[in-house]
A = this chain, B = another copy of it.
């Protein structure tokens, strides 16, 4: 596997992250996961725009690297046309402590992974172990401090299901550990609001603009009363067929989910 790190293409095993990198020591950074189909990064400008919102919030310089050019070369060197590209940007090496380094030297790492292909319909739980912090502006950017999502994912693993849906500190639905959440009811598609803790996902934004998905305040009971439930992220659309052991709708992928999945995947 060839990765790109700080201007160089090199084998993963030769790529070195410094132990004082703030990405490692403090989760101080951002990432993007970008779907590549037929050699082409999908919704690339939307990913760049979100990264820019993240760098603005964290006070990091936006990379001057030609990201599109690096990704194209990385795909070529790894012989990948169908891929997921992960871009990781950290505040870089720094002395101990939380103080902002005077001369920040951000670390930029780009890696490409084979696209794992379509996944089976999802069984989920509503996480009880933790809550998403809708009162933090971090809930609106894709960042490296992901431990709450990991705790929820581990709860899902304990229940032998695929994913967990997080509520915010008020008890409203926010998102799953790796995807935005959508509920189909009476022909409408509803999704939790950003102010309730939903990440403004690139695919979510596309569904709002092109499929009329409506950001709405939602609670866990709405899941069980839904006609269909599905998840979206850069990888695509995934139907949710059960939540907390209760069947959603018909227990199979619903027609609205199938239609959207066919249109975007």
Q: Is A153's CB under 8 angstroms from B19's CB?
A: no
**Considering the complex, which residues of chain A in the window 64-102 have a beta carbon less than 8 Å from any beta carbon of chain B?**
84, 86, 88, 90, 96-100
Known: A27-B27, A137-B129, A145-B146. Contact between A109 and B151, CB under 8 A?
no
* Min distance, Cβ A95 to any Cβ of chain B, angstroms: 8
* Min distance, Cβ A173 to any Cβ of chain B, angstroms: 14
Q: B-facing mask of A24-52, CB < 8 A → 1, else 0?
A: 11111001000000000000000000000
Measured CB to CB, the nearest residue on chain B to A27 is B27
Known: A25-B144, A146-B145. Contact between A154 and B59, CB under 8 A?
yes
Q: B-facing mask of A170-204, CB < 8 A → 1, else 0?
A: 00000001100000000000000000000000000
Size class of the contact patch on chain A: 35 or more
* Min distance, Cβ A252 to any Cβ of chain B, angstroms: 24
Q: B-facing mask of A217-243, CB < 8 A → 1, else 0?
A: 000000000000000000000000000
Q: Is B157's CB under 8 angstroms from A99's CB?
A: yes
Copies of this chain present in the complex amount to 2
Measured CB to CB, the nearest residue on chain B to A147 is B145
Measured CB to CB, the nearest residue on chain B to A98 is B153
Taking each of A25, A59, A97, which has the highest tally of chain B beta carbons within 10 Å of its own beta carbon? Answer: A25
How far, in whole Å, are A264 and B39 apart by their CA atoms in the complex?
Answer: 61
Offer 8 A-B interface pairs, CB within 8 angstroms, sorted by A: A19-B88, A26-B144, A27-B145, A98-B150, A131-B135, A133-B135, A133-B148, A169-B169
New A-B contacts (18) at CB < 8 Å, excluding given A25-B88, A145-B148: A5-B19, A12-B18, A17-B18, A19-B88, A25-B86, A25-B144, A26-B149, A27-B145, A27-B147, A58-B147, A96-B111, A98-B153, A99-B153, A129-B137, A130-B138, A131-B133, A133-B135, A138-B148
